[in-house]
């Protein structure tokens, strides 16, 4: 057993951390203030150039598309660093949902698909979106999708309604989950299909207001109507009926990525809480840190963050070592556990800031608002708990 950060990775993490603090955080207020992605995009473009020149671009990406080729564990550690700012992942080119789409294209894309989409995506020249969740079918069970793609000549004709398609606003293409084989066994009904967003019938209905913020560009979640949306069959990704399987594979590393990002958020909230505690005066000249309740929060937060972090790294290590399928229990466990820790730590940090904590004068309220979804997307807590327990109980049933 060895808990040391890999030596080859450490300097990259340090460089990324320094860049975050020196260059990215100063840009945050532009974003937090406006909710308008396009207003801040030019600055982000500049930052991306600097990241490229530092040799830190696309940390999780394969080397053959210009990435650093980090392992799941290594990218997890990088994701933690980047999560310290809501802009971190975007600036380093590994933001959801593009990171996952890049992975899918790299692994399942045809030569033609790669030529057209993979290069520009890896270079950060275009954005993409992943269109799976539907308003009227339970997102917790992707085998119950309603959106359907029907063959017609050489094309698929897609009809359906999706929402929470992150970053659809301004994306060049969507990867759409649609039922192509309704009579197959339920895990073999859906396929993933590339749909350029300028295809007739691809209608962005609205950017859904999340806690009152519709956002824009990458920082938005769209409702989309597919209305006789016609694309060539060669836009299929990885085989008919393989949609569910690909989605699953995409989620494994994706969850490490998210969990470590959340831990980066925890670190930011923790730092803000501690800084507030030592600088805010109460009762005359005593710092807020003199209060035992604040100390309790700091101690409890530190204990919870440390433990949760190691659990995620352990799951990442398992994926690297034995593959996603044999790390499922661990991945489900961290999904709900870390989201819970994050929300608690953010909440304590807000309370430590008093009235300031609910304003947009710190990044805390941004996390409070925009990360509440963490307990819901990629499977709500309750679904993960039920499914992981079922897996765990199997061993006991066999012995019973």
**Residue 3 or 125 with smaller CB distance to a second copy:** 3
**Residue 184 or 211 with smaller CB distance to a second copy:** 211
3-state secondary structure of 210: strand
Shortest distance in whole angstroms from residue 400 CB to a second copy = 5
Shortest distance in whole angstroms from residue 173 CB to a second copy = 23
* 380 Cα distance to chain centroid: 14
**Residue 48 or 291 with smaller CB distance to a second copy:** 291
Shortest distance in whole angstroms from residue 197 CB to a second copy = 21
In degrees, rounded to 5, the angle at the alpha carbon of residue 247 between the alpha carbons of residues 246 and 250 is 85
**Residue 167 or 238 with smaller CB distance to a second copy:** 167
End-to-end CA distance of the chain: 33
d(CA 332, CA 336): 7
3-state secondary structure of 193: strand
Shortest distance in whole angstroms from residue 73 CB to a second copy = 6
**Residue 146 or 172 with smaller CB distance to a second copy:** 146
Shortest distance in whole angstroms from residue 254 CB to a second copy = 17
**Residue 39 or 208 with smaller CB distance to a second copy:** 208
3-state secondary structure of 111: helix
Shortest distance in whole angstroms from residue 161 CB to a second copy = 13
Shortest distance in whole angstroms from residue 2 CB to a second copy = 4
Q: State both tokens at 294.
A: 């604040």
- Rounded to 10 degrees, what is the CA torsion of 173, 177, 181, 184? 150
C-alpha distances (whole Å) from 95 to each of 269, 347, 352 are: 20, 25, 30
**Residue 18 or 392 with smaller CB distance to a second copy:** 392
| 8 Å CB contact between 80 and 25 | no
Helix (H) or strand (E) holding 151: strand 148-152
* 31 Cα distance to chain centroid: 18
Residue whose C-alpha is closest to residue 131's, from 188, 95, 187, 178:
178
Phi, psi angles (nearest 5°) of residue 224 = -130, 135
**Residue 118 or 327 with smaller CB distance to a second copy:** 327
In degrees, rounded to 5, the angle at the alpha carbon of residue 240 between the alpha carbons of residues 151 and 189 is 90
Shortest distance in whole angstroms from residue 387 CB to a second copy = 9
């Amino acid at each position: 057993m060895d808990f040391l950060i890999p030596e080859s990775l450490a300097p990259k993490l340090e460089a990324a951390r320094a860049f975050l603090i020196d260059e990215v955080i100063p840009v945050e207020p532009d974003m937090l203030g406006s909710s308008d992605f396009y207003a801040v995009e030019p600055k982000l473009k500049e930052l991306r150039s600097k990241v490229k020149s530092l040799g830190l671009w696309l940390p999780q990406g394969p080397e053959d598309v210009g990435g650093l080729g980090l392992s799941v564990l290594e990218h997890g550690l990088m994701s933690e660093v980047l999560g310290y700012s809501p802009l971190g992942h975007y600036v380093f080119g590994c933001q959801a949902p593009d990171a996952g789409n890049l992975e899918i294209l790299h692994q399942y894309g045809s030569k033609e698909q790669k030529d057209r989409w993979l290069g520009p995506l890896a270079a950060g020249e275009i954005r993409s979106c992943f269109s799976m969740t539907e308003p009227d079918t339970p997102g917790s069970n992707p085998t119950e999708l309603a959106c359907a793609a029907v063959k017609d000549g050489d094309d698929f004709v897609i009809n359906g309604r999706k929402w929470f398609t992150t970053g659809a606003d301004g994306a060049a293409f969507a990867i759409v989950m649609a039922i192509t084989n309704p009579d197959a066994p339920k895990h073999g009904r859906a396929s993933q299909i590339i749909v350029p967003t300028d295809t007739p019938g691809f209608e962005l209905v609205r950017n859904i207001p999340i806690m009152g913020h519709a956002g824009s560009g990458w920082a938005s979640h769209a409702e989309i109507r597919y209305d006789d949306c016609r694309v060539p069959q060669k836009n299929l990704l990885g085989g008919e009926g393989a949609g569910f399987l690909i989605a699953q594979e995409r989620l494994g590393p994706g969850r490490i990525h998210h969990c470590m990002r959340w831990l980066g958020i925890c670190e930011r909230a923790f730092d803000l809480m501690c800084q507030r505690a030592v600088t805010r005066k109460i009762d005359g000249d005593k710092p807020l840190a003199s209060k035992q309740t604040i100390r309790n929060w700091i101690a409890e937060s530190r204990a919870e963050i440390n433990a949760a972090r190691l659990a995620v790294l352990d799951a990442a290590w398992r994926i690297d070592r034995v593959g996603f399928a044999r790390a499922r229990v661990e991945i489900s466990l961290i999904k709900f556990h870390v989201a819970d820790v994050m929300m608690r730590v953010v909440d304590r940090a807000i309370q430590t800031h008093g009235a300031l904590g609910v304003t947009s004068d710190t990044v805390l309220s941004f996390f409070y608002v925009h990360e509440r979804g963490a307990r819901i997307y990629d499977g709500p807590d309750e679904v993960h708990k039920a499914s992981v327990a079922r897996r765990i109980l199997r061993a006991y049933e066999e012995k019973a």
